[in-house]
Amino acid sequence: MEVEIALGRAEAHFGVIPPKAAEQIAEARAEKINIEALTKGTLHSGFPIIALVEELRKQVGSEAAPFVHWGATTQDIMDTACILQLRSATELFKTRLTEIVRDLSVLAGRHRNLVLAGRTHGQQALPITFGIKIAAWLTPILRHLQRLDEILPRLLVVQFGGAAGTLAALGAKGLAVMQALADELRLGVPLMPWHAQRDSLVEFAGWLSLVTGSLGKMAQDIILLAQTEVGEVGESAEQGRGGSSTMPQKSNPITSELIVAAARTNAALLSALHNAQIQEQERATHGWQMEWLTLPQMMLLTSGALKHARFLASYLQADGKTMRANIARGNDLILAEGGIYARPGDAEGESGRIGQESLRRGAE
């Protein structure tokens, strides 16, 4: 309805429809829409816009009714409405990502000197600090915020092309109306209508998958660090969180599990959107519907992952004693790099001495 009202105002500005008609269209109210009629109409035509236009025409009266939806096609209204929804969602995503950055920054600072085993190929490698590990979770999120700023100018654009993308019903005023419609909705203007050009939506879906993938990496690390035999972190200090109905000793990393599930599901859904990008001619048959099935799910999964990641960033517990005990359990071979790579004749140097001593103690 917001798009239909904005369209009326834009067209009235250039004399395409009477100003009085635009005023009457702007007085339409969503609460007056007959939802049952809208549902039946959607089932009948496959889209909600025909029924919506009929409902709007009932509200605006006989004089303005013919000018509702003038020169537009169903996809113009639905795509533009979708973009308005995405704008609202991206504002929320940006806020949540910024909160996670802040909380992880605090956590990294708190543990900047807490030593634990860095692990490669699932094995202890070299000592690192827990602060560095947290910084590795944080850094991709900063890039995702930058990516979002780069994507939004391409994503947040109006869709307006009429039946076949030519705006023929508006004559010479089509491009001017498109600009005015974009201005009304505070959206950008594309180079041309993008009915069958879905790359910006797919690019945004890729961003969603990148975000959940990075959060999933953090969650996967926490799952591994929280294993009973490792025991270096806990998702929170809350008693009974992640408990089992049959095993009282369990404290399952349930929050991290949900994030990983969201990340893997988003990665799978992204492939469907890449397939939906292959659309026929000027307006497609089924690719649009594939977007309806996948993009909303990806948005919800990303929102949930962000919520759970914020919890982890706020409440994650680190056990420094266990971290040090795990390093010592390997007989300090984790310090052997200096001995392995010492230059000939450098065995008496500091790095060589530490490395050789570590190897000796390990052999003993």
Look at the block and give the residue holding tokens 């025409």.
57
Q: Which residues of 280-289 are buried (b: 16+ CB within 10 A; e: fewer)?
A: eeebbeebbe
Closest CA to 279 of 271, 289, 287: 287
If you write DSSP's letter for every residue of 313-355 in order, what string do you get? HHH-EE-HHHHHHHHHHTTTGGGTHHHHSPPTT-TTSHHHHHH
- How far apart are alpha carbons 115 and 162 in whole angstroms? 62
From 62, 88, 121, 245, active-site residue: 121
Length of the chain: 364
DSSP state, 68?
Answer: T
CB atoms within 10 A of CB 105: 15
- How far apart are alpha carbons 309 and 256 in whole angstroms? 8
Cα 338 → chain centroid: 43
Classified as helix, coil or strand, 125 is: strand
- CA atoms within a 13 Å half-sphere pointing along the CA-CB vector of 38: 14
From 244, 271, 274, 286, active-site residue: 244
Cα separations in angstroms, 172 against 140, 178, 182, 190 = 47, 12, 17, 18
Is 121 part of the annotated catalytic residue set? yes
CB of 316 within 8 A of CB of 114?
no
Is 256 part of the annotated catalytic residue set? no
Q: Which two tokens stand for residue 14?
A: 């250039």
Known catalytic residues? Answer: 121, 244
